[in-house]
Chains A and B, each alone.
Chain A
Amino acid sequence: MMTATMQNPFFPAMGQIPSFMPDYEAFSARLAAMPRVMEIAQNVRVGTTPSEVVYREDKLKLLRYVPEVEQRHRPALLIAFALVNRPYILDLMPHKSVVRQFLRAGFDVYLIDWGVPTPNDRHLTLDHYVNRYMLNVVNHIRQETGDDQISLMGYCMGGTMSAMFTSLHQELIRNFILMAAPIDWSNKESLLQVWSDEKYFDVDKVVDTFGNAPPQWLQSNFALLKPVTNMVEKYLGFYEKMTDEKFVEEFFAMETWANDNIPVAGETFRQFMKDLYQKNLLVQGKLRLGSKRVDLKNITCPILNLTATGDHLVPCGQSQPFNDLVGSSDRKSINFPAGHIGLAVGSKAQRDLWPKAAEWLAERSDEV
């Protein structure tokens, strides 16, 4: 039997073993926090800034946000997000809301909710989205506000579509903000681009078989872009911080959005993959929407190009060339240290980037 005076031969070795055993006090605190964590998970609310639906067309809804302060600038700002996820990422939580940044700056803010395509929407093309839906939305805002033009901001794929819209209908756009939007697919920096190489990905077969691009397939691809972060680090980080209620709320809000994928209309997906990802027609000036050719040189309004240095979905190299392709003389870029989604919801972006973007827009808008 060992006593305190006898030397435990294992003691010296145990002193060298790194302390991987859990800190039991912290572990107990996490265990005790579980009911509260479950409660937060069940009650998470997203996209809570008050708005009203002012226009509907098919599945599309146009939201007009209730002003928080007296309107100081015109024209109104229309925000267009991608077709692959829900747009409330731009209004995720009260303290993580791009929409509220512009509302507080005194803008009249609208947001397009594209809706969820059903199997019968598989025939919707990019031309439908840009030259019908977007055009009707913009004309509705012009009629409602009484202004001839609007300011437009597009995020991710919504930015690409907004760029197409602006080049085709420049007379309707006063200012244009591009946010982490892919424009030039000439390099293979992004994993998505590697995977969509026509040698390995037959988009015609996918669309002809599945109709719309399935949301579960899209989501799994997005998660696979950063497998270690999305499948290991995220949950480890959650375990370490789960006693922090604010962190848990933000985590579940983010998870709600990340798991809220929607299908993409088949023909739109086909054209986006073939004409943009695979053939890169937009920068060559050869992209056609219906009978109209999209030429970025037609964009002459002031532009602000926001890119994220840590963007793995849309690397800076896909967005930055936009400034050299347009005909605008007033061109500005801000390359911000954030990820693709962090550009919208990150604390640093909310604190440092969006006030600057609102200021940029205010300088190029009229006072009410």
Chain B
Amino acid sequence: MSNGTSGQGPTDPFTKAWTDLFAKMTTPAGQAQSPQQPAWPDETVKQMQRTMFDAMAKQADEYLRSPQFLTMMKQMMDQSIAFKQQIDRFITEAYRGVQAPAQADMQDLAGTLRGIEERLMTRIEELERRLEDAEDSKHGSADKPKAKPAGRSGGKRA
């Protein structure tokens, strides 16, 4: 509703949307052509629909950028995170209680393997670079793209 003390227009987005719609409906383009033509032309109905949706979309966009919405989204995310953490803790303890691996354990293992892979690949790359430098200095550097064999990281031709 309008804020009478500051003299501003309605701040409720849907109220504003309806106000804009009916303001446009009172313009000649928005009115029925004559009392003898009860059915409004399709084009006019579509135009009214378009106007209403555009107004709603504009209001929605403004709201979705507002600090109120952003704060609400943050709170919802924080609550989801807290809930997920609680569930995860419960399930992990249940699995460990029966001596079974939990998802956290599998992910830790995957993380360890990735770390090993990373270290190995870095070493291999370094060795390849040194080998290429050695070959270049022996044969002279060629001005062409350096081809590396595919599938170094485990890929294969299908």
Contacts and interface: CB of A to CB of B under 8 A. Distances in A.
B21 to A, nearest CB: 12
B90 to A, nearest CB: 14
B147 interface: yes
B155 A197 contact: no
Contact of B153 (A57, A194, A197): A57
Contact of A17 (B38, B103, B156, B157): B38
A123 B153 contact: no
A135 B148 contact: yes
Nearest to A120: B110
Interface stretch (A35-43, A220-228, A251-259): A220-228
Given A143-B147, A201-B74, A191 B158 contact: no
B36 A57 contact: no
B158 A56 contact: yes
Interface stretch (B2-10, B57-65, B92-100, B127-135): B57-65
B140 interface: no
B145 interface: yes
A276 B17 CA distance: 36
Interface string A185-217: 000000100110101111001100111000000
Given A15-B38, A123-B114, A228-B53, A143 B150 contact: yes
A227 B35 contact: no
A330 interface: no
Interface in B16-65: 32, 35-40, 44-45, 48-49, 53, 56-57, 60-61, 64-65
B1 interface: no
Given A18-B45, A201-B74, A136 B152 contact: yes
Nearest to A122: B107
A61 interface: yes
B70 A200 contact: yes
A201 B75 CA distance: 10
A37 to B, nearest CB: 22
Contacts of A58: 153-155
Contact of B38 (A16, A123, A209): A16
User: Secondary structure at chain A's binding surface: helix, strand, loop or mixed?
Assistant: helix
Contacts, number: 133
B53 A206 contact: no
Interface string A94-122: 00000000000000000000000001111
Nearest to A231: B60
Interface string B63-75: 0110000110110
A136 B53 CA distance: 48
B120 interface: no
B158 A55 contact: yes
A89 B47 CA distance: 32
Interface residues of B, number: 50
Interface string A137-172: 101101100001100000000000000000000011
Interface in A40-94: 52-58, 60-62
By DSSP majority rule, is chain B's interface helix, strand, loop, or mixed? helix
A14 interface: yes
B150 A16 contact: no
B146 interface: yes
Contact of A209 (B81, B146, B150): B81
Interface string A215-242: 0000000001011110011001000000
A206 B152 contact: no
B84 interface: yes
A210 B65 contact: no
Given A15-B36, A16-B35, A195-B70, A57 B156 contact: yes
A57 B64 contact: no
Nearest to B52: A228
A9 interface: no
A236 B45 CA distance: 13
A12 B37 CA distance: 11
B70 A120 contact: no
5 contacts: A19-B40, A57-B153, A57-B155, A142-B147, A200-B71
Given A15-B38, A17-B38, 7 more contacts: A15-B36, A57-B153, A120-B107, A123-B110, A139-B148, A191-B61, A227-B57
Complex A-B, nearest 4 residue pairs according to Cβ-Cβ distance, in ascending order: A57-B155, A120-B110, A140-B150, A15-B38
